């Protein structure tokens, strides 16, 4: 019996004792290899003295000052650094707003979009379109734009009416053009064109923004859209004067082998939401970056963003973020992730012989593995089997952490895991991750009577 409100009150969780590099140890002395950086957060591994020292130094100087009264040096420096990492069309006049987590970042991004229009005297625009099979956070505003039915279900009556279009989910393309269709730009453009249809139906004068993850993370397992997708989305947003919000909470700051996930596509957003890897889990930290164009609307009006959190731009979090970004830059980690992507994915292909893998997808060190009952027909496993949870459990039993997800095909079916180790993982540790994963997959294949271990 415990007073702690666990995520699942019927489940036992080990108590964490310590962590170093890519390994986490519990109080029973069991050690786990972190194959997914927690929930794709601990991008630099654990226990880095550079970041711990920066945190300690900031605590000694000043731990907290409220942003209605002060700004910290760490906050100012972090804003400069992160804005300097943005694309050229975005950077000039851009500013960074800091908060504690990704859901707060998405709320802030949506309110920033709304305020952009209100500051220009346009009070009518309220709709933020998004996509099914997306994840944008668990607060009610972020959940309204989230497109994962199971996460939405208990709260649907409290959410804004759905304003979702389809995702460009290439493994299960819905265009109906037949086998092989997903290789073409046509399908991606057809998916993007759903946005235009939705805008026209809603009345363009009512629409303020479109929010999307450049590469969908938790709820679609690293699904990469076609290269034509985001350029077409950008065109549509421009045509109707709508802001494009890139939710880079998971993809931002190196995870996909580029600074931002959107860098893979020929399109620049107007607002960027960041979180997770920004302070790499050393402190709670997230950010919203407003492009020069967005910021100008505030500057040309009252200058006030009617918004804020007690812990906005917390000095200790900003110091941790600054040290984390310094570490990434000093060690050239974004380039290294990009260079190691090929080996990472090549190694994963060896898992196909387990017979339960339908698709391996992703970019950089962000990999999704989708499980299927039948690799030829892509028939998913029955949801009752909870295959992704089984894989996570079997992996954890033998000392490997992976990030499971389910229900993404139609709200009920669909199983994947994400493999996303810290950028600092060594080649030997990477091999160990895949060796353990192969053992876990074979065990699950046996349990569900499928695959090569049948
Ligand atoms: C793309 C994306 N947006 C927003 C969030 C919400 O972030 P947080 O859990 O820090 O509130 C997440 C978390 O997984 C995410 O992956």
Q: Are residues 221 and 352 in the same domain?
A: no
Q: How far apart are CA 140 and CA 428, in angstroms?
A: 42
- The answer to whether residue 9 sits within a structural domain is no
Cβ neighbours of residue 400 closer than 8 Å, sequence gap 6 or more: 32, 33, 35, 433, 436, 437, 440
- The answer to whether residue 10 sits within a structural domain is no
Q: What is the CA radius of gyration of the chain?
A: 22
- 146-150 contact pairs (CB < 8 A, 24+): 146/219, 147/219, 148/218, 148/219, 148/407, 148/408, 149/407, 149/411, 149/412, 150/406, 150/407, 150/411
User: What is the atom index within ligand 1 of the atom nearest the CA of 134?
Assistant: 1
Examine the fold and report which residue of 276, 302, 330 is the final residue of a domain before the chain moves on.
Answer: 330
Contact (Cβ atoms closer than 8 angstroms) between residue 127 and residue 208: yes
- Residue 181: what pLDDT? 60
Question: Cβ(136) to ligand 1 under 6 A?
Answer: yes
- The answer to whether residue 364 sits within a structural domain is yes
Percent of the chain whose predicted confidence (pLDDT) is above 90: 94
Q: Which residue carries 């994947």 as its tokens? A: 416
Residue 38 has pLDDT above 90, yes or no: yes
- Residue 182: what pLDDT? 62
Q: What is the 3-state secondary structure (H, E, C) of 348-384?
A: HHHHHHHCCEEEEEEECCEEEEEECCECCCCECCCHH
Threshold 0.85, pTM exceeds: yes
Tokens of 192: 């993007």
Q: Are residues 307 and 349 in the same domain?
A: no
Tens-place pLDDT, residues 51-95: 999 999 999 999 999 999 999 999 999 999 999 999 999 999 999
pLDDT band at 176 (very low <50, low <70, confident <90, very high): low
Q: Which residue carries 């569900």 as its tokens? A: 448
CATH number assigned to the domain comprising residue 57 = 3.40.640.10
Which residue's CA is minimally distant from atom 9 of ligand 1? Answer: 102
Tens-place pLDDT, residues 119-162: 999 999 999 999 999 999 999 999 999 999 999 999 999 999 88
Contact (Cβ atoms closer than 8 angstroms) between residue 122 and residue 113: no
Cβ neighbours of residue 10 closer than 8 Å, sequence gap 6 or more: none
Q: Are residues 107 and 224 in the same domain?
A: yes
Q: Are residues 102 and 149 in the same domain?
A: yes
CATH number assigned to the domain comprising residue 385 = 3.90.1150.10
Residue 180 has pLDDT above 60, yes or no: no
User: What is the atom index within ligand 1 of the atom nearest the CA of 106?
Assistant: 4
Q: Are residues 303 and 159 in the same domain?
A: yes
Q: Are residues 217 and 264 in the same domain?
A: yes
Phi, psi for 174 (deg, rounded to 5): -100, 10
Mutation pick for ligand 1 pocket among 276, 278, 283 (CB with most ligand atoms within 8 Å): 276
The closest of 363, 414, 328 to 250, measured between CA atoms, is: 363
Question: Cβ(218) to ligand 1 under 6 A?
Answer: yes
User: What is the atom index within ligand 1 of the atom nearest the CA of 247?
Assistant: 1
Q: Are residues 158 and 293 in the same domain?
A: yes
Q: Are residues 362 and 226 in the same domain?
A: no
Q: Are residues 260 and 361 in the same domain?
A: no
Contact (Cβ atoms closer than 8 angstroms) between residue 286 and residue 300: no
Q: Please compute the mean of the pLDDT values over residues 345-360 and round it to a whole number.
A: 97
* Residue-averaged pLDDT of the chain: 96
Q: How far apart are CA 143 and CA 86, in angstroms?
A: 27
Q: Count of domains in the chain?
A: 2
Q: Are residues 205 and 338 in the same domain?
A: no
Examine the fold and report which residue of 308, 330, 352 is the final residue of a domain before the chain moves on.
Answer: 330
Ligand 1 centroid to Cα of residue 272, in Å, is 13
Q: Are residues 195 and 70 in the same domain?
A: yes
Q: How far apart are CA 395 and CA 94, in angstroms?
A: 43
- The answer to whether residue 265 sits within a structural domain is yes
Ligand 1 centroid to Cα of residue 135, in Å, is 7
- The answer to whether residue 6 sits within a structural domain is no
Mutation pick for ligand 1 pocket among 40, 102, 139 (CB with most ligand atoms within 8 Å): 102
Question: Cβ(107) to ligand 1 under 6 A?
Answer: no
pLDDT band at 410 (very low <50, low <70, confident <90, very high): confident
Domain of residue 402, residue span: 16-34+332-447
- The answer to whether residue 5 sits within a structural domain is no
Cβ neighbours of residue 397 closer than 8 Å, sequence gap 6 or more: 440
- The answer to whether residue 428 sits within a structural domain is yes
Residue 18 CB neighbours (<10 A): 12
Examine the fold and report which residue of 301, 330, 359 is the final residue of a domain before the chain moves on.
Answer: 330
- The answer to whether residue 212 sits within a structural domain is yes
Ligand 1 centroid to Cα of residue 388, in Å, is 20
Q: Are residues 296 and 368 in the same domain?
A: no
């Amino acid at each position: 019996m415990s007073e702690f409100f666990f995520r699942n009150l019927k489940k036992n969780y080990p108590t964490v004792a310590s962590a170093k590099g890519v390994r986490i140890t519990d109080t029973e002395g069991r050690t786990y290899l972190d194959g997914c950086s927690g929930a794709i957060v601990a991008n630099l591994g654990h226990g880095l003295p550079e970041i711990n020292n920066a945190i300690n130094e900031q605590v000694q100087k000043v731990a907290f000052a409220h942003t209605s009264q002060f700004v910290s040096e760490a906050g100012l420096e972090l804003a400069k650094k992160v804005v300097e990492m943005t694309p050229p069309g975005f950077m000039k006049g851009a500013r960074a707003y800091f908060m504690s987590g990704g859901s707060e970042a998405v709320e802030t991004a949506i309110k920033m979009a709304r305020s952009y229009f209100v500051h220009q005297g346009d009070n009518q625009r309220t709709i933020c379109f998004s996509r099914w099979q997306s994840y944008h956070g668990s607060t009610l505003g972020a959940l309204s734009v989230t497109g994962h039915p199971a996460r939405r279900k208990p709260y649907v009556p409290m959410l804004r009416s759905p304003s979702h279009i389809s995702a460009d989910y290439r493994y299960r393309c819905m265009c109906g053009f037949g086998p092989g269709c997903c290789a073409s730009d046509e399908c991606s453009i057809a998916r993007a064109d759903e946005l235009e249809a939705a805008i026209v139906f809603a009345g363009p004068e009512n629409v303020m923004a479109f929010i999307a993850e450049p590469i969908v993370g938790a709820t679609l397992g690293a699904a990469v859209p076609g290269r034509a997708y985001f350029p077409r989305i950008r065109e549509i947003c421009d045509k109707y004067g709508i802001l494009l919000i890139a939710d880079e909470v998971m993809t931002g700051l190196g995870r996909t082998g580029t600074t931002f996930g959107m860098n893979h596509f020929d399109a620049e957003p107007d607002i960027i939401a960041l979180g997770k890897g920004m302070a790499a889990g050393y402190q709670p930290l997230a950010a919203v970056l407003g492009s020069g164009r967005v910021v100008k609307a505030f500057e040309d009006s009252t200058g006030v963003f009617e918004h804020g959190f007690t812990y906005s731009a917390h000095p200790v979090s900003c110091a941790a973020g600054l040290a984390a970004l310094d570490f990434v830059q000093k060690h050239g980690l974004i380039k290294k992730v990009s260079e190691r992507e090929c080996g990472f994915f090549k190694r994963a292909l060896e898992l196909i012989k387990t017979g339960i893998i339908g698709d391996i997808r992703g970019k950089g060190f962000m990999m999704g593995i989708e499980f299927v009952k039948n690799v030829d027909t892509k028939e998913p496993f029955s949801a009752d089997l909870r295959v992704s949870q089984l894989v996570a459990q079997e992996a954890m039993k033998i000392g490997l952490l992976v990030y499971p997800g389910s229900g993404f095909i139609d709200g009920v079916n669909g199983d994947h895991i994400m493999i996303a180790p810290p950028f600092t993982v060594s080649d030997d540790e990477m091999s160990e991750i895949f060796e353990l994963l192969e053992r876990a997959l074979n065990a699950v294949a046996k349990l569900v009577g499928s695959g090569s271990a049948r």
